[in-house]
Amino acid sequence: MPSRRWILPVLVVLTLCLLPAILLGLAVMLAYPTLPSLEVLTDYRPKIPLRVYSVEGALLSEFGEERRALVKISDVPDVMKKAILAAEDDRFYEHGGVDYIGVLRAAISNFTSGGAKQGASTITMQVARNFFLSKEKTMTRKFNEMLLAFKIEHNLSKDEILQLYFNQIYLGQRAYGFATAAQVYFGKPLGEVTVAEAAMLAGLPKAPSSYNPVVNPKRARLRQFYVLRRMRELNFINDEQLQLAQQQPIVAKHGNQEFRVKSDYISEMVRQAVYEKYQEDTYTQGFKVYTTIRQQDQLAAYQAVRKGVLEYDRRHGYRGPEGFVDLKKGDSEEYMEEALQDIEDNDDLIPAVVLEASHSLVRAYCKGGEMAEVRGDALRFAQRALSNKVALNQRMNPGSIIRLQKDEKGVWQISQLPQVESAFVSADPRDGAIRALIGGFNFSRNQFNRITQAWRQPGSSLKPFIYSAALEKNFTPATVINDAPLIFDAEQTGSEPWQPKNFDNEFAGPMRMRKALTKSKNMVSIRILQSITPQYAQDYLTKFGFDVDKHPPYLTMALGAGSVTPMQMLVGYSVFANGGFRVTPYFIQRIEDANGNVLNQTQPAIAGEGAEQVIDVRNAFTMVNMMQDVVRHGTAIRAMQLGRQDLAGKTGTTSDSIDAWFCGFQPTLVGISWMGFDHPRSLGDKETGGGAALPIWISYMEKALKDVPQAAYAMPDNMAAVRINEEGHADKEGPFVEYFYQENIPSEQAMPVPSEEVKPTDTVKDQLL
Q: Which residues are catalytic?
A: 88, 460
Please name which of 228, 184, 229, 207 lies closest in space to residue 69, comparing C-alpha atoms: 184
3-state secondary structure 208-230: CCCCCCCCCHHHHHHHHHHHHHH
Which phi and psi (to 5°) does residue 92 adopt?
Answer: -55, -45
Helix (H/G/I), strand (E/B), else coil: 351: strand
| Separation between Cα atoms, residue 612 and residue 465, nearest integer Å | 17
Terminus-to-terminus CA distance in the chain, angstroms? 133
Helix (H/G/I), strand (E/B), else coil: 144: helix
Query: Could you tell me which residues come within 8 angstroms of residue 729 by beta carbon, excluding any fewer than 6 positions away?
Result: 478, 746, 747
Please name which of 736, 734, 768 lies closest in space to residue 517, comparing C-alpha atoms: 768
Cβ atoms 199, 231 nearer than 8 A: yes
Please name which of 517, 766, 726 lies closest in space to residue 624, comparing C-alpha atoms: 517
| Separation between Cα atoms, residue 121 and residue 86, nearest integer Å | 13
- Pair type for strands 588-592 and 581-582: unpaired
Helix (H/G/I), strand (E/B), else coil: 196: helix
Rg over CA atoms, the chain: 35
Measured at the CA of 525, the angle between CA 521 and CA 531, to 5 degrees, comes to 150
Long-range contacts of range 272-276, CB-CB < 8 Å, 24 or more positions apart?
A: 273/588, 274/50, 274/591
| Separation between Cα atoms, residue 459 and residue 523, nearest integer Å | 14
| Separation between Cα atoms, residue 737 and residue 750, nearest integer Å | 12
Cβ atoms 224, 241 nearer than 8 A: no
| Separation between Cα atoms, residue 656 and residue 345, nearest integer Å | 33
Task: Label residue 579 left, alpha or beta by phi (over 0 means left) and psi (-120 to 50 means alpha).
Answer: left
| Separation between Cα atoms, residue 657 and residue 554, nearest integer Å | 21
Q: What share of the chain is helix, strand, coil (3-state, %, to 5)?
A: 45, 15, 40
Cβ atoms 674, 417 nearer than 8 A: no
- Pair type for strands 669-676 and 421-427: antiparallel
DSSP 498: B
Please name which of 535, 532, 526, 538 lies closest in space to residue 562, comparing C-alpha atoms: 538
